[in-house]
């Protein structure tokens, strides 16, 4: 991760001058991801395929200058496919339905701009996460229900008007009548998409899988001569794109109830998805900048209005591409601009190549998106938060697939209210945040009353926003009856952000609460007189670690602990979130304090989110002065990553060390002075390992995975040898 500077990147033209190279690279890599997805999303939405690219172009080139967020990528989203396709179909289908759907998009966009100016951005907090995730999972199932037939080479015109359940019933028939060559292209595309993440080399994580799909499947289609041997619907058709861009919106159906039904569906899902993405990407921002959700809502609305007028789809702050932008090193809004600029070049220069793309390859990309939205892991993650969350999640999915998105989300919210009432939430506090607030000698004392839940969360957020920075905040839940998962997530965010300006946050009063699961952010309800804490049942790994601790004079703490500040500014935390640590082994040695723990690192957001558990050694209370640096084993990808993440500091006198390790630091001269002969000799003679230094603390880990007790012992021995080596050198002021 970036070790060049902790300075917040500048915005505007100054930001362009400062970051054009890294933002240009990030924008180009996101463009490689966005091009095939934009084509596929548009085609699945019953829009001309190239209009998806037009949408992303506008989202990059135009919306970048208006947006209230720095790192989000604007473009068409899979979550809106079912609404777009439904609007086109119900408003007449074909070209007529497309033009009328554009009118719907423009009207919804105008309302969206007004909502942003009226500061409605915070209303996204009203919707419980389990219901929103259930809606997205339902969309994933709906996407799969149609795209599996396209992957098999079935004529899309034979599927028009079919409901998802009908499409699922039709799968055996489509398998029996599949086009073998088209299916081969689709299956190979799926193998690439799902296989690349399994490859360990980091170079595979730097290349977007959708672009690899195109690099493989376009030659396949050319070799098999799809253009002359397969029906026209098996290849992407662009036609005269630039002639089709113009005033395309038709408002003649504005008096039709169906028109307004889709206005509100677009407005609801588009705004909600976009706002949730902005919030999620803020959590991944290496510089922890806070976006303006209302300004971003205005920007997205303006982009949607222009896109709808010219023929494009509605756009959002798209979560997968935004997460990729961070991973590729994007720093400012210019990365989004460059992504749009490269799409413009593609439509100017490469339309003949784009028309060689097999539609079965695009169907595979959308099937992968649908799978990520509704994967078994989504069900498991929801269940870990609490069984009641899973019930809401599943009910939202079932009702959405059987009816539509608005009814599905409404059913999820209704079930959530029922759970809260049954668990003791008084009716008077369902929508009103009830609390007592006292400021006393530089301290804020907040006593939460009755319930702290999703439907009154906005009131608590307004309270938190009023607090002056740099003070001690004590939030007491002793008088509350129920605190739900949505509130706990907001509290966790507040606990992370408020201390940045010197303050502190303490949450107390949960001693008599029954937790709905052992997840750190699980909902909880008052349970006076009964067992107040969950009984800790150790897993086989925890039993193994406890035994290891007993044999090695270590203190063992199995519980999950939220302690993101402990890893603040370490490179491991850049572009990711430290969710919690568990299985902590603590030991005091002559050179400081060692804490070994399993840290859950979350990278990406939404469908792009994936959690990795890494066993790390955190070393503090050091007497040595150590400069900030990051040392990791050299890989093929590091030469490319130097362009975005910092120069590799090499030592001409030690070519073996320089080829073995990728070393970065804030002050190259000081880092070179620190890595003296005996330090380099020690590192050369031991297996390659990750070492990060920040604020005179060290973070050491062998691999991005959990370690067995034997492996932990090996790293501890390495750490002891490394520190003994450091104690033999003299380091001048750093």
pLDDT value, residue 530: 47
**φ and ψ at residue 24, rounded to 5 degrees:** -65, -40
Closest C-alpha among 640, 658, 641, 639 to residue 649? 658
Say whether 609 sits in a helix, a strand or coil: coil
- Indicate whether 27 belongs to any domain: yes
Distance CA 186, CA 81 (A): 20
- Indicate whether 421 belongs to any domain: no
Residue 136 and residue 273 in one domain: yes
Distance CA 202, CA 720 (A): 29
- Structural domain including 309 reads 12-407
**Residue 418 contacts by C-beta under 8 Å, 6 or more apart in sequence?**
none
Q: Is the pLDDT of residue 580 over 90?
A: no
Burial code of 130-152, b = ≥16 C-beta within 10 A, e = fewer?
bbbbbbbbbbbbbbbbbbbbbbb
Boundary (domain end) residue, out of 491, 526, 561: 526
Q: Is the pLDDT of residue 648 over 90?
A: no
Q: Is the pLDDT of residue 127 over 60?
A: yes
pLDDT value, residue 379: 94
Distance of CA 222 to the CA centre of its chain: 36
Closest C-alpha among 455, 525, 462 to residue 125? 455
- Indicate whether 512 belongs to any domain: yes
pLDDT (mean) for 567-589: 86
Q: How many residues does the chain have?
A: 734
Distance CA 157, CA 610 (A): 36
- Count of the separate structural domains present in the chain: 3
Residue 81 and residue 126 in one domain: yes
Boundary (domain end) residue, out of 343, 377, 407: 407
- Is the Cα dihedral 93, 99, 100, 106 positive or negative? positive
**Residue 707 contacts by C-beta under 8 Å, 6 or more apart in sequence?**
615, 715
Distance CA 38, CA 56 (A): 7
pLDDT value, residue 646: 62
Distance CA 587, CA 720 (A): 12
Residue 62 and residue 179 in one domain: yes
Residue 235 and residue 139 in one domain: yes
- Indicate whether 198 belongs to any domain: yes
Distance CA 727, CA 719 (A): 12
Distance CA 91, CA 202 (A): 47
Q: Is the pLDDT of residue 480 over 50?
A: yes
Q: Is the pLDDT of residue 636 over 70?
A: no
Q: Are strands 592-603 and 576-589 parallel, antiparallel or unpaired?
A: antiparallel
Alpha helices in 443-511 (DSSP H): 457-466, 485-497
Distance CA 40, CA 45 (A): 8
Mean pLDDT of the chain: 90
**Residue 7 contacts by C-beta under 8 Å, 6 or more apart in sequence?**
none
Of 71-80, 122-131, 475-484, the poorest mean pLDDT is in 122-131
Distance CA 223, CA 184 (A): 13
Structural contact between residues 495 and 464, judged by C-beta atoms closer than 8 angstroms: no
pLDDT band at 6 (very low <50, low <70, confident <90, very high): low
pLDDT (mean) for 65-79: 95
Tell me which H or E stretch contains 221.
Answer: helix 209-223
Is 5 or 380 the better-scoring residue by pLDDT? 380
Structural contact between residues 731 and 629, judged by C-beta atoms closer than 8 angstroms: no
Instruction: Tell me the pLDDT tens digit for each residue of 608-629.
Output: 777 899 999 999 888 777 888 9
Share of the chain above pLDDT 70, in %: 94
- Indicate whether 630 belongs to any domain: yes
Structural contact between residues 112 and 300, judged by C-beta atoms closer than 8 angstroms: yes
Tell me which H or E stretch contains 616.
Answer: strand 610-620
pLDDT (mean) for 250-278: 94
Say whether 393 sits in a helix, a strand or coil: helix
Residue 585 and residue 490 in one domain: no
Distance CA 663, CA 365 (A): 36
Closest C-alpha among 213, 342, 284 to residue 69? 284
pLDDT (mean) for 716-727: 90
Q: What is the DSSP string of 240-280?
A: SHHHH-S-----TTTTSHHHHHHHHHHHHHHHHHHHHHHHH
Instruction: Tell me the pLDDT tens digit for each residue of 326-375.
Output: 988 899 999 999 999 999 999 999 999 999 999 999 999 999 999 999 99
- For residue 485, the tally of other CB atoms under 10 A from its CB is 25
pLDDT value, residue 579: 84
pLDDT value, residue 4: 43
- Indicate whether 695 belongs to any domain: yes
DSSP type of residue 516? S
Closest C-alpha among 301, 255, 336 to residue 74? 336
Residue 441 and residue 513 in one domain: yes
pTM: 0.83
Closest C-alpha among 648, 708, 27, 636 to residue 328? 27
Residue 588 and residue 461 in one domain: no
Q: Are strands 316-318 and 73-75 parallel, antiparallel or unpaired?
A: antiparallel
Distance CA 133, CA 127 (A): 10
Euclidean distance between the first and the last CA atom of the chain, given in angstroms as a whole number? 21
pLDDT band at 602 (very low <50, low <70, confident <90, very high): confident
Say whether 712 sits in a helix, a strand or coil: helix
- Indicate whether 413 belongs to any domain: no
* CATH classification of the domain holding 477: 3.30.750.24
Residue 60 and residue 138 in one domain: yes
Residue 654 and residue 585 in one domain: yes
Distance CA 454, CA 394 (A): 18
pLDDT band at 732 (very low <50, low <70, confident <90, very high): very low
Boundary (domain end) residue, out of 379, 407, 435: 407
Residue 340 and residue 483 in one domain: no
Residue 135 and residue 210 in one domain: yes
Q: Which residues pair with 450 in a beta bridge?
A: 480
Q: How far is CA 170 from CA 34, 163, 177, 667, in A?
A: 31, 11, 11, 63
Alpha helices in 498-627 (DSSP H): 540-551
pLDDT (mean) for 702-718: 94
DSSP type of residue 672? H
Distance CA 293, CA 609 (A): 21
- Indicate whether 420 belongs to any domain: no
Closest C-alpha among 585, 581, 616 to residue 602? 581
Helix axes 638-645, 12-44, angle to 10 degrees: 130
In the chain, how many H helices and how many E strands?
29, 18
Closest C-alpha among 405, 472, 421 to residue 443? 472
Residue 445 and residue 320 in one domain: no
Instruction: Tell me the pLDDT tens digit for each residue of 163-219.
Output: 999 999 999 999 999 999 999 999 999 999 999 888 866 666 677 899 999 999 999
């Amino acid at each position: 991760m970036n070790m060049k500077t902790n300075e917040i990147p500048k915005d505007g033209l100054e930001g362009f001058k400062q970051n054009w190279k890294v933002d240009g690279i990030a924008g180009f890599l996101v463009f490689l991801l966005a091009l095939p997805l934009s084509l596929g999303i548009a085609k699945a939405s019953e829009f001309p395929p190239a209009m998806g690219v037009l949408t992303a172009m506008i989202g990059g080139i135009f919306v970048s200058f208006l947006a209230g967020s720095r790192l989000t990528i604007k473009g068409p989203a899979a979550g809106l496919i079912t609404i777009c396709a439904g609007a086109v179909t119900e408003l007449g289908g074909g070209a007529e339905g497309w033009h009328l759907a554009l009118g719907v998009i423009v009207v919804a966009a105008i309302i969206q701009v007004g909502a942003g100016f009226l500061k409605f951005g915070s209303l996204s907090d009203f919707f419980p996460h389990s219901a929103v995730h259930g809606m997205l999972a339902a969309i994933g199932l709906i996407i799969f229900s149609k795209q599996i037939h396209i992957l098999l080479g079935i004529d899309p015109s034979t599927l028009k008007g079919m409901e998802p359940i009908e499409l699922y019933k039709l799968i055996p028939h489509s398998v029996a009548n599949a086009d073998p060559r088209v299916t081969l292209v689709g299956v190979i595309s799926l193998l690439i998409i799902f296989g690349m993440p399994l490859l360990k080399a980091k170079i595979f994580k730097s290349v977007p899988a959708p672009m690899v799909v195109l690099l493989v499947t376009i030659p396949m289609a050319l070799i098999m001569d799809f253009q002359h041997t397969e029906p026209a619907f098996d290849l992407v058709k662009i036609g005269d794109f630039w002639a089709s861009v113009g005033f395309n919106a038709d408002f003649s159906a504005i008096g039709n109830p169906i028109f307004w039904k889709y206005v509100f569906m677009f407005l609801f899902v588009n705004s909600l998805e976009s706002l949730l993405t902005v919030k999620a990407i803020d959590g991944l921002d290496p510089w922890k900048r806070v976006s303006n959700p209302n300004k971003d809502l205005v920007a997205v609305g303006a982009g949607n209005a222009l896109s709808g007028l010219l023929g494009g789809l509605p756009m959002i702050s798209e979560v997968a591409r935004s997460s990729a932008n961070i991973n590729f090193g994007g720093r400012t809004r210019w990365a989004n601009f460059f992504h749009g600029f490269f799409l413009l070049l593609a439509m100017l220069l490469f339309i003949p190549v784009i028309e060689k793309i097999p539609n079965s390859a695009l169907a595979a990309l959308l099937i992968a998106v649908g799978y990520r939205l509704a994967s078994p892991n989504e069900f498991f993650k929801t269940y870990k938060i609490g069984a009641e969350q899973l019930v809401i999640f599943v009910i939202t999915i079932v009702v959405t697939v059987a009816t539509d998105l608005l009814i599905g989300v409404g059913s999820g919210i209704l079930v959530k209210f029922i759970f809260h009432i049954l668990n003791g939430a008084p009716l008077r506090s369902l929508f009103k945040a009830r609390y007592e607030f006292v400021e006393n000698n530089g301290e804020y004392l907040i006593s939460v009353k009755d319930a702290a839940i999703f439907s009154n969360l906005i009131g608590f957020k307004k309270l938190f926003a009023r607090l002056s920075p740099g003070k001690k905040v004590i939030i007491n839940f002793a008088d509350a009856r129920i605190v739900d998962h949505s509130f706990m997530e907001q509290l966790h965010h507040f606990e992370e952000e408020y201390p940045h300006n010197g303050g502190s946050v303490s949450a107390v009063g949960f001693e008599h609460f029954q937790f709905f699961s052992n997840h750190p952010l699980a909902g909880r309800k008052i349970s006076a007189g009964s067992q107040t804490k969950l009984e800790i049942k150790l897993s086989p790994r925890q039993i193994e670690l406890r035994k290891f601790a007993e044999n090695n004079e270590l203190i063992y703490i199995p519980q999950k602990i939220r302690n993101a500040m402990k890893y603040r500014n370490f490179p491991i935390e850049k572009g990711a979130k430290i969710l919690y640590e568990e299985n902590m082994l603590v030991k005091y040695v002559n050179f400081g304090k060692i804490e070994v723990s399993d840290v859950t690192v979350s990278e990406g957001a939404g469908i792009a989110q994936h959690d990795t558990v890494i066993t790390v050694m955190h070393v503090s209370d050091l007497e040595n002065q150590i400069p900030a640096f990051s040392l990791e084993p050299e890989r093929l990808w590091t030469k490319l990553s130097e362009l975005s993440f910092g120069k590799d500091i090499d030592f001409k006198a030690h070519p073996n060390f320089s080829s073995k390790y990728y070393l970065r630091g804030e002050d190259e001269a000081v880092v070179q002075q620190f890595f003296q002969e005996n330090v380099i000799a020690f590192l050369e003679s031991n297996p390659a390992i990750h070492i990060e230094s920040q604020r005179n603390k060290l973070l050491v880990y062998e691999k991005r995975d959990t370690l067995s007790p034997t492996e932990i012992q090996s790293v501890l021995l390495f750490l002891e040898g490394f520190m003994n080596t450091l104690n033999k050198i003299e380091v001048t002021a750093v």
